[in-house]
Amino acid sequence: MIRRIAANLVILSEKERYVNHVVELQGSRIVRHYPLTGEQARTEWLTGTLLIEQGQAYHLVRLADGTQHKRPL
């Protein structure tokens, strides 16, 4: 089953950063990514940043104390 996640910022690498972007995951593997151009059915919206690191997807969450945590998706 494909999981579709949209975020304000998606970081695929140091040189690849996308604003308002969608990432599709099958398990923990990225199968596709593309710009968010409108509302799509069955799309999760995560506020903030999605980081793709060594093929793994993480949601970067900034806590009230200013620290940042990587939560695996």
CATH class, range 2-72: mainly beta
Tell whether the model's pLDDT for residue 54 goes beyond 90. Answer: no
Residue whose token pair is 């970067």: 60
In whole angstroms, what is the distance from residue 46 CA to residue 9 CA?
Answer: 9
In whole angstroms, what is the distance from residue 23 CA to residue 59 CA?
Answer: 12
Q: Which two tokens stand for residue 36?
A: 């968010």
Tell whether the model's pLDDT for residue 34 goes beyond 80. Answer: yes
Provide the mean pLDDT of the chain: 91
Domains of the chain, residue spans: 2-72
Task: Record the pTM.
Answer: 0.85
- Residue 1 pLDDT class (50, 70, 90 cuts): confident
